[in-house]
Amino acid sequence: MTRLYAEVIGDPIAHSKSPLIHNFWLAKLGIDAEYRACHVRPDELEDYFTRRRGDTEWRGCNVTMPHKQAVLDFVDARGWSVGKLDAANCVVRTGTGLEAHNTDGAGVCDGLSRVSSDLWSVCLIGAGGAAVAAREELDAICGDDLRLVARDKAKAERFIDEFSFESRWFAFDEVANAMRDANGVINASPLGMTGRPAMPEPVLDALALTSAESFVFDMVYAPLETDLLKRAKALKRQRVDGLVMLVGQAAAAFEMFFGQPAPREHDGKLRALLTA
């Protein structure tokens, strides 16, 4: 008898930590199921979903780059979390077909729950999908001042038009003004990620201008200790790393796949495995 399973798809996929996370939780809960990684190229995406629809043991998949938007063409419904993100990182089999979700918001919420600062003034770096997820969370809990640091002015202006409170765009050469007296900094860009451009030095230097009680939340998890977090540590700022968001995203998907909440009481041991 075959086992129920879920998986993560992407191109590339070998680097994914999702199998370790989900299989750790499955073992802790004693669920007879498994979680896999499946390499799916863009030209294979349609065939992948055709085959999985016919596999009754398949519970769904997490979706990573470069499929987060293309996957929406192969589902029957979109959950509310897809909303303004127009991208999905999770597809779940339901009684009526395949439904797309985005658990980025759950990951952002997990990260923000770790800080003690009041979120009255936040500097957000990036205007892509992860930044939109952060925007949706901040729109509900942030005070009245968001400073967006992004390269593309037109994209940034469209981004901030969606906020219900005061928000401003800053180019990277204005980052000192964006961070001045801010009580939170969130990096929702790939800057600093392995294989991507480094976080610009002016951004690192501008951290010194933030409030002494501020936090720095870097969504990048490879490397885990980014240059941004190293500088935050030197400045004695509160820090939240990308693993927090990664595990928060995964927990939301796990419950949809397997019908039980992830056993978050074991987060300490899971983190040790992820950083070994």
Residues serving a catalytic function are 68
Q: How far apart are CA 52 and CA 12, in angstroms?
A: 20
Q: How far apart are CA 133 and CA 18, in angstroms?
A: 20
**Helices (DSSP H) in 113-209: which residue ranges?**
129-141, 153-160, 175-179, 201-206
Q: Which residues contact 11 (CB under 8 A, 6 or more apart)?
A: 39, 40, 41, 42, 65, 66, 67
Do 124 and 131 contact (CB within 8 A), yes or no?
Answer: yes
Overall size of the chain counted in residues? 276
First vs last C-alpha separation in the chain: 34
